[in-house]
Structure 1
Amino acid sequence: MSSALDEISEVNTQLLLQVVLPVLYELSSIMIILYHFSVIKQLVGQLHGINNVRKQGLANYSVNSVRKQGLANYTVSTASENKD
């Protein structure tokens, strides 16, 4: 009986080492790449917002000043609306 349990345990260990761990490693790599893409997408969106503020003639304001004056709503969505 213990021989059968040892064999099952060995099979489970081999399955874990040969299948489960490599799959988890690949998934974590993919998640890291996707995270970096989302960070880059956010940064590009912020740059579009800053460029839109500059196009509106507000470039003489610092970023904090623009936020304090309630002009920080020039985001990517409003940038696309104001291109007309």
Structure 2
Amino acid sequence: MALRRRMRPQAAVTAACDGAFACATFACGYFDAAMWITGLVAFSMLAYWSYSRRVVLNRLRGAAWATQSGLAVAFIIAILAGAYWLGLGVSGRF
């Protein structure tokens, strides 16, 4: 039991919100929503990500901040694009 730790409530909320954005993007693909709606979901996810990680991001300076933020944005866009593509594939519209 020493290796098991309880997740902090804030971490669980953040993980649930991240999953909700991925599910919303999947739904956009599944229901073939307009691209502006999908873009709105992606922009909202990036805004939520920057807000929920603000404590860590505020500690970083210069190149470290730019590198970490750039990688995170690239990964978020890749995950959301994959969720959208999966939604299109499951619905048969792809």
Give the TM-score of the pair, scaled to structure 1. Answer: 0.37
Q: If you compute each CA radius of gyration, which structure gives the higher value, 1 or 2?
A: 1
More RCO (CA 8 Å, sep 6+): 2
